[in-house]
């Protein structure tokens, strides 16, 4: 059986994601999920946030792979 939802497709128990546009968003999601699992799946209360006029930065202490910064436009 084949089932398709947007850019996600399931066929015989295997899932395929179709990416498009200027950024490979699914790759980032997958890397972040693996890093979060490797860090022991920390709770949302462990997230730290720093806001400035230039950027919003959030991270989980001790796990640099889980640090993200978004520039303010």
Give residue-wise pLDDT tens across range 47-66. 999 999 999 999 999 999 99
Global pTM? Answer: 0.69
Contacts of 58 (CB under 8 A, 6+ apart): 47, 48, 49, 50, 67, 68
pLDDT one-digit tens code per residue, 4-51: 556 788 888 888 888 888 888 888 889 999 999 999 999 999 999 999
Q: CA-CA distance, 12 to 69, in Å (whole number)?
A: 38
């Amino acid at each position: 059986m084949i089932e398709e939802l947007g850019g996600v497709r399931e066929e015989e128990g295997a899932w395929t994601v179709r990416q498009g546009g200027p950024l490979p968003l699914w790759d980032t999601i997958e890397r972040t999920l693996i890093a979060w699992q490797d860090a022991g799946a920390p709770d949302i209360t462990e997230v730290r946030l720093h806001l400035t006029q230039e950027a919003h930065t959030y991270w989980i202490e001790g796990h640099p792979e889980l640090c993200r910064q978004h520039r303010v436009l």
